[in-house]
Structure 1
């Protein structure tokens, strides 16, 4: 039995039961049923919207000074009114990533007599080991087999359909448009060619967006193929092979893109299906095979995946292999959605699209107040660092786009971006200051440059990408921040703590969102300044800048503990207006930062625990996918394996569709239904990895939050900071052995429980440790 397979005995009733495929650019969700198969196709650059003219000045430093005086004097309403006047842009052609189309395959029902097997038997699956989806149907006379994969190596989606008897493959293939217009016509007798434009009327004006051109080709062995009425009809074939390719004009000026799909398919057909499949699997497994995990098995492991999810959510029955499957599924989705050469990073729904976010006030965009960041939380630790690279390039482009915003809105140098962005260089605040004036959203995203360097120790990356972008971010905050007149601290503001609100005084006087120096900002700015200082020292440059950073760091506010014992979310100990709120942005110092650790900051760790537990106790807790992941990550960092396990169990058993995609519950943040949001998949993957390995406190910590449910297991290939790879094996909750592979020289400290050992490592070294962390020969 393949433990890393999603499988089902029932047809996919809709998108939330479909199985996702991806090649880093093209996405497909395959909805298989006995007599029909639908591929919901998406493409990561297929965006509505456009680059709109920049707004006029937001008033610069003079307007900022006036706002700040209101906040410092306690006039929050007055300050908020000025912020809306100067820092609240009108909504323009922001756009959204749209679904491309559906490929619909209708199979002819077999009318012959049944020969063997149980008629009507159906099974569909997604094999994570090879990134191939398949379905098998026992008809009246023969067994029909189907498989489909999205090839990064071949730059297309390919499928094969065959039968246990010759001449039994018959179907019609048609295309259903995702957007208007969508002209599709037969070509060459065996293909359908289509054109489309990504237009919609909710996030843009209905007239602007990316153009696409694609081709679907069907090859057959035996039988006949006929084209007509916008469809292809296959009759009596022994086997059929389907190829789908599409290109867009995103960032393209010449006509070459229009012929790419045909060229791609001709090249694929020339190789043949089997070679294309082999190249796809080899390319995929170079990434997937880097990590293996075993957490034990139970009798639940042999059930269909949807039944296992329901059982965990309903009964809480232990199913340790389901958690291992969830981690590998998260890695699979990362590989499928974000490859080193992907044109764009993962958005709100990865690279897939069910259409739900696009038709609401939501958007399939880049939310910068946790969602996009969480998409990449597990990337480094689960040994998929190359998948991080599209985000690195996007951050560089965001920095360029954010320079005019820093200048026009704040009269400052450097660059800034706020609560969300798109593919058109949007860096302004959102069009409502209560949630849109997140002045560190771009910086939060840019901390992924720091993470990538910490894991890789890639000096060229530091010198050429990370440091230049972060230095310019630091230049903005050094110019923009001001000294608090009462405390003498260097603070940001006006700004919000995403996306929460507070009572500055009597609750009867109303809630506010904007203040000076929210905790999230001060944590991010401190990490930025300290990393830039370290980088400048390492690269031996910018001595004057180093001195400025040192002085600024000394003036930053400390993390504070409030009257309820909680980690304060704001500079002042305000009362939360929504204690049930879904966001936990001020916990960044616990995860993914390292400003709070149980060993070095026990009091702040205690305050972080109080914050998490207080939020958990709220009857009206906004129970969404990313909050469940944040709870799990927080407790993992506090070394509380049982509570981390509770929250990852809830995420999988209570906030996942049948296809293991995570969702946000209906009614929260304007969601009109349970809506697919992929950050829970990646956040949950990160939780499981952090329970098994942590390396944020200058040491490699083995099994820091191991729950009783995973008392025996093994993991190999996880990455630790410092360009290191780790394997661990344990039994009955006790470490039995570990191996540390080092790719850069230096001192390595390894911890398990209260035991620690340190040794000098060489580049290319491999070090085996015993159950007491003793070095083994």
Structure 2
């Protein structure tokens, strides 16, 4: 080793010479792995609220996939159908008459939002099919396809998995099979199952079938089209958007194939294999969409000349205490370390390369993007840029990659940055788009991205990293948690193995603490003041057609993202959510007018970057009107936690009032019961379009109650307050059904065998508080009975919701059982991926946030008049200490317990409000002084 070496390099070498046990037994805030990520859900997430990245930590090729939060499809537009309210009374009348199907049909035709502009699909299809007029064309058996490439068929997740991410268009596939002599003269069934999304299927030049839907393809091949020996299959696949190709079966053991009609499917001749393909046309017309989709930006790849078989001591980590990922290994006697951060103060992604020997760092850095419209070019001798444009949308983006090295050589060659023989290297990547706000796309992305990069020129890696850590820890270090005693044997397991072990044996309390802190880390990393809110995948997405558009689903998922915010002391992460609510109130005002002829504002079950508020997708689940009212509860809860009257006056109350004005006008008298009810609506994604779903009434009552209270606190709008008080008492109440369950609808039609993932009618238990053990014991028992009928099995986010519900039911052991289910490896159903991302499946981040909030809810609850200490402590967590939990009323608590018994409580009064504290049979009622801390023992005796 050279005599002259930096302390950092020396520390790397020393750390890697230590035992793994020593290193990781000391660190309870680290995810770590002993191999690189090969899948996206194995990579490690970093982010600053605006830029997100997934770090793979590869040895020969280290992929860093990155996002910028404002890169979406779509453009500013009007989402609302003008004058739709003219059909409102008719739809209501049909529902009151019990004609649900007719109501859904009319609503689907006249009451949905507008789609974006459509291209001329018929003209394009005509152009594509003109190839069939040629004498020699791809449908013919003798067509010369020798120059065609091959692709594995089928591909259930789409041809995107075969390297064609983002490709839409017309693609020909060809394959040959030998017809067994015994099948000669027989009609055959061609079983291809799914094709996305239209096909024209030929056998020996004869068209045997064509469909333009998502249904299975089971075509009959007439014997006259077949011959003994080689037979040609040619399929023209048309894909306008999303996944494309011959998808086949999700169950890979079930092959596509052919077999004689009227004979057993077991006789099927498999057609799985390498098919030849030819891309005919990718210039597809625009497809109308109700709402936009979040997009990936690009990939940064570092390519190394390394013999992987000679690598030792590989470690890949995510340090959530410092918001830093690392990759480290030893190669031919040299220890290499890469550190990855996304700095909020400097608005850039950074990668730092060091080594234990000078002149050891050599690699090539490349930028690329899945967007069809992208361009990489040289800027100067150490900088390249990536320009992208979203297909059929208004947004474009620019990213700059600049590399600074100490020692060695840096040059740009073929639009790639080549580093040779450096001692130390810092790579900086900035990224911006032309998005200003949901109505304005006139920003200059190049100017913004370049400005971030220029600010880094005079700063060392250490300076940038120090500022990054200080800013991040200002959010993260407000809270700490320890569960159980240090278990070195568990701590030394890689995180993926630890996940496996926890699913089998839950004797790893510290893993639960890590999961909670990981949820806080993800929220801070995807939602900072001044950014956009965390979407369905936070800020991380690698697909041009992500699941559910990676939008904001406001019938549970977007709200669940922020359940941990106040309770787990990361309140500042809600600022982007509050700003989005303000923007939604603007677009929602027009939706309220056009669809309901009502004042105020309304939001249905989804929104996007452009703040669409109209109903989308289908009338049986898209027409759900309480998204805005639910979001308003986040405003009210934040006030309850902080007691900030300025926030209530300037931000929360005006938005709450606007939502309440809408529902004051929207509610209608039920002709059978006389109650005020919500209609048309649905119990989210369950049961179709109805009159009077229980969840709606719970949320509307909650909105009215909080608006009434806020109005009283602010001493304003007395007449409106009194109007809401009258209407509040007239809303249809919660009802217990014939099975002892809380009814999901006004009618007693719940099915005890129904296992639906949504448990919407339990909203008033959590996140609401109308149903609780203090005031409504019979109703909370009925709610618990409903959840018992639904069962424990669920999608990932649904598990997150159920965890919080069982905590509110005060059943700690049942709560912990569901935590163990959430922290289980994904095996076709819900659980956690190796990087601990929540699996719906696929990945949705709401389960991470819901699970983190649920762990906190076991330790402290404050939704009734009392602050309850350890209300749902499970037997699996007998020992622990938590500092920084927040409670409603403006309190911050630290709690310590041992052998399942409370030892001490510290309460800081942040607002000087009266304190009502309870632990089991012990209770304290006392006045407090602002900013004073009070100490109590396990019996709540003040110390």
**CA–CA separation in structure 2 for the residues paired with 1:58 and 1:86:** 9
Shift of 1:575: 3.4
Shift of 1:192: 0.9
Structure 2 counterpart SS, 1:676: coil
Q: Return the match for 2:598 from 392, 405, 412.
A: 412
- For residues 528-539 of structure 1, the aligned pairs below 5 Å read 528-539=703-714
TM-score between both structures, scaled by the size of structure 2: 0.76
Worse overlay, 87-96 or 435-444: 87-96
Shift of 1:334: 1.0
Shift of 1:352: 0.7
**CA–CA separation in structure 2 for the residues paired with 1:448 and 1:373:** 8
Match of 1:649 in 2: 820
**CA–CA separation in structure 2 for the residues paired with 1:428 and 1:125:** 43
- Post-superposition Cα deviations, 1:273-329, rounded to whole Å, max 9, x if no partner, equal 11001000111111111101000133312211000001122x134110000000110
Q: Does 1:7 align with 2:183?
A: no
Match of 2:172 in 1: none
Q: Return the match for 2:581 from 375, 381, 395.
A: 395
- For residues 524-603 of structure 1, the aligned pairs below 5 Å read 524-576=699-751, 579-603=754-778
Q: Does 1:136 align with 2:160?
A: no
Q: Return the match for 2:405 from 220, 223, 246.
A: 220
Question: What is the aligned-residue RMSD (CA, Å)?
Answer: 1.7
Match of 1:339 in 2: 528
Q: Return the match for 2:293 from 93, 96, 100.
A: 96
Change (3 A) 1:769 1:411: same
Match of 1:268 in 2: 456
Q: Does 1:633 align with 2:804?
A: yes
Q: Contact 1:21–1:150 at 8 Å: present in 2 too? A: yes
Match of 1:53 in 2: 78
Match of 2:239 in 1: none
Match of 1:472 in 2: 658
- For residues 132-211 of structure 1, the aligned pairs below 5 Å read 132-199=324-391, 207-211=392-396
Aligned residues: 735
Q: Contact 1:58–1:86 at 8 Å: present in 2 too? A: no
Q: Contact 1:168–1:238 at 8 Å: present in 2 too? A: yes
Structure 1 counterpart SS, 2:456: helix
Shift of 1:361: 6.3
Change (3 A) 1:54 1:9: closer
**CA–CA separation in structure 2 for the residues paired with 1:699 and 1:735:** 17
Q: Could you list the runs of 5+ residues in structure 1 that have no partner in the other structure? A: 200-206, 502-512, 666-674
- For residues 251-650 of structure 1, the aligned pairs below 5 Å read 251=436, 256-296=444-484, 297-298=486-487, 299-313=489-503, 315-342=504-531, 344-355=532-543, 358-359=544-545, 362-501=548-687, 513-576=688-751, 579-616=754-791, 623-650=794-821
**CA–CA separation in structure 2 for the residues paired with 1:645 and 1:421:** 33
**CA–CA separation in structure 2 for the residues paired with 1:129 and 1:6:** 11
**CA–CA separation in structure 1 for the residues paired with 2:521 and 2:46:** 9
- Post-superposition Cα deviations, 1:711-752, rounded to whole Å, max 9, x if no partner, equal 011000011111110100000000000000011122110111
**CA–CA separation in structure 2 for the residues paired with 1:89 and 1:431:** 9
Match of 1:204 in 2: none
- Post-superposition Cα deviations, 1:77-99, rounded to whole Å, max 9, x if no partner, equal 33333322331235334221100
Q: Return the match for 1:34 from 59, 64, 70.
A: 59
Worse overlay, 460-469 or 252-261: 252-261
Worse overlay, 80-89 or 556-565: 80-89
Change (3 A) 1:138 1:585: same
Structure 2 counterpart SS, 1:709: coil
**CA–CA separation in structure 1 for the residues paired with 2:300 and 2:869:** 47
Q: Contact 2:81–2:112 at 8 Å: present in 1 too? A: no
- Post-superposition Cα deviations, 1:494-521, rounded to whole Å, max 9, x if no partner, equal 11100111xxxxxxxxxxx111110110
Q: Contact 1:632–1:648 at 8 Å: present in 2 too? A: yes
Shift of 1:107: 1.4
Q: Return the match for 1:718 from 867, 876, 885.
A: 885
**CA–CA separation in structure 2 for the residues paired with 1:662 and 1:253:** 33
Shift of 1:63: 2.6
Q: Contact 1:500–1:578 at 8 Å: present in 2 too? A: no
Change (3 A) 1:189 1:445: same
Shift of 1:259: 1.5
- Post-superposition Cα deviations, 1:682-733, rounded to whole Å, max 9, x if no partner, equal 0000010001111100211111111111101100001111111010000000
Shift of 1:54: 4.3
**CA–CA separation in structure 1 for the residues paired with 2:393 and 2:607:** 17
**Which aligned segments of 4 or more residues in structure 1 are displaced greater than 6 angstroms?**
none
- Post-superposition Cα deviations, 1:154-196, rounded to whole Å, max 9, x if no partner, equal 1111111011111110100001213121111122110111211
**CA–CA separation in structure 2 for the residues paired with 1:77 and 1:182:** 46
**CA–CA separation in structure 2 for the residues paired with 1:474 and 1:561:** 27
Shift of 1:73: 2.5
Structure 2 counterpart SS, 1:379: helix
Change (3 A) 1:360 1:152: closer
Q: Does 1:107 align with 2:304?
A: yes
TM-score between both structures, scaled by the size of structure 1: 0.92
Structure 1 counterpart SS, 2:625: coil
Change (3 A) 1:399 1:758: same
Match of 1:700 in 2: 867
Q: Contact 2:373–2:390 at 8 Å: present in 1 too? A: no
Q: Contact 2:483–2:877 at 8 Å: present in 1 too? A: yes
**CA–CA separation in structure 2 for the residues paired with 1:198 and 1:726:** 47
**CA–CA separation in structure 2 for the residues paired with 1:119 and 1:635:** 47
